[in-house]
Amino acid sequence: MKKITYLLCLSVVTAALCGVWSALSAPMNLLGWAGFAGCTSYFACGESGVAGIKKSMIPNIVGVLCGMMVIGLSSMIPLFDKMGIWSAIITFLMCMLSKYKWFSFCPGTFVGCFTTFAAQGNYKVLIPSLVLGVLLGAACDCSAKVLYQKYFNS
């Protein structure tokens, strides 16, 4: 019989917790898809635990602010095709921010920004959805590690 791997534990735990998120996000008036974007951001950042939470959550929230800036500026000062020029300017700034430690996970900033567009600027629902999604990713990761270490790592 084959040995149970950490990947198998992670897959089972992630399936279970993401299923719970799917069932609960809409009744809680949250965006399920945005939670999955936050969860993906956690796993993509390359860190785990508190370091992974910080490395993904901070850029996600800054990305929401950047998205709101694009939306706001394009409605106040409509240049060219409205959002195009402002998207370009803010994209440049998001990339430049990545040289700083707290914003080094540039894809996380883009996740926050593009989800803002997808949420049509509804940051009041988007931010908690992203934050809970990042925490969902951390819960999947941590729970799978505990499960594997306690029961299957011999």
Are 35 and 136 in contact by the 8 Å Cβ rule? The answer is yes
Q: Pinpoint the alpha helices (H) of the chain.
A: 6-25, 32-44, 49-76, 83-97, 106-118, 123-147
Residue 34 burial (CB < 10 Å; 0-12/13-18/19+)? buried
The pLDDT assigned to 81 comes to 64
> Would the pTM of this model clear 0.75, i.e. be above it?
yes
pLDDT tens figures, 119-154 = 999 999 999 999 999 999 999 999 999 999 998 886
Mean pLDDT of the chain: 94
pLDDT single digits (tens) 31-87? 999 999 999 999 999 999 999 999 999 999 999 999 999 999 988 886 666 778 889
pLDDT at 1 exceeding the cut of 60: no
User: pLDDT tens digit string along 91-111?
Assistant: 999 999 999 999 999 999 999
pLDDT of 83: 72
Instruction: Determine the residue type at 117.
Output: F
Q: How far apart are CA 146 and CA 116, in angstroms?
A: 34
> Among 144, 145, 148, which Cα is nearest to 17's?
144
Query: Is the model's pLDDT at 8 over the cut of 70?
Result: yes
